Structure 1
Amino acid sequence: MRTEDKAKFAELVTGMAEIYGREVTAASLRLWWATLGDHSLDDVDHALRAHVRDPESGQWMPKPADVIRRLEGSARDQEADLEAQAVSAWGKALEALRNTGPYQDCPIEDPRALAAIEDQGGWQSFCMMETRQLTWARKQFIDAYKCMEAPGTPRSKLGIHSSQNVRQIGEARSAGESLPKLGGAA
């Protein structure tokens, strides 16, 4: 929030406190402001209204931590979201495996998914997995996905064709030859 939001913020907090039959002191209002000041006034207003409408938690006046939980979500909510993202990324990785295979470059753009594939030996190794390995690979992928920061593109995103092309270019350059035609181009 900005300094010019203080009056509206004070009105919002004191109005909410009146609903619960409470008074807000200047000291507690300063604490509310210091605690929630990193959020926009609209977001705080929305979170307070959501709290008041909630049949369970809305029975009591919220504390700043209750408002922050509504604004940012609880750690448990964030973990569940990350788990859902990881499961979705696994599904997309399997779809890419079926549609692309090891000869083409990995089409996945999600940096965490790429890092999880890298953790399993890279795209080519990932594509060469046997069906019986998928259950364990899924668990490893999801665990790796959840632990990864979003890094840059891993080096093993290349499929077999691109790896061979890169090797051929390097060999041709070192031999002083003209570059070969790549990717089966005539």
Structure 2
Amino acid sequence: MIDIDVLLSYNGFVKEFDKDQMIVEQGEEPKYYYQIIQGKVKMNNYNEEGKEFIQGMFGEGESFGEPPLFMEIGYPANAITLVNSKIVLIKKEDFFLLLEQEKTSCFGVFKALSSRLYYKSIMAPDISSNDSYKRILTLLHYLKNQSAVEEGREFLVELTRQQIADLTGLRVETVIRTIKEIECRKQLRIERGKLYI
């Protein structure tokens, strides 16, 4: 994403967050650009029945929550740490100045936003489908393709069954049953509870 030294040179600062700490709340006005140095963050919201839906999960080197900065609207989801995390924050005004003056960084942000838009577009047809098999397989293949794993090598899926359910809009029981079906079809491997695709 953006080099940490570049962020710091534009008045960025590092902040530490505890596990399960709220970073931004749905509806809150965006004031900062966030980039993870260490840790993991999920963006989530809840439907009318109170079921969690994970909009995205972000790890080391990734940023989150940029679209509201550009659109000047409130955050559509919460951002919460999944583990203790170190995050670089930079004020919106300083971030915009950085993008104007640092072409490489600007294209890095465009690339990250494009990747997320692509993910949403490939997941949208499957989320609206009742086919849990297809929903889960599409998610797992997307995660593998986004990783740096070499062609033909196995990819460790670092998500719990609950997180897969929250990312696909399925019940956890459905995810467990469907993953077993995918394993039976030899499209993934389960070892000690871990998924490899």
Q: TM-score, normalised on structure 2?
A: 0.22
- More relative contact order in 1 or in 2 (CA 8 Å, sep 6+)? 2
Structure ID, larger Rg: 1
**As a proportion of its length, which structure holds more helix?**
1
Q: TM-score, normalised on structure 1?
A: 0.23
**As a proportion of its length, which structure holds more strand?**
2
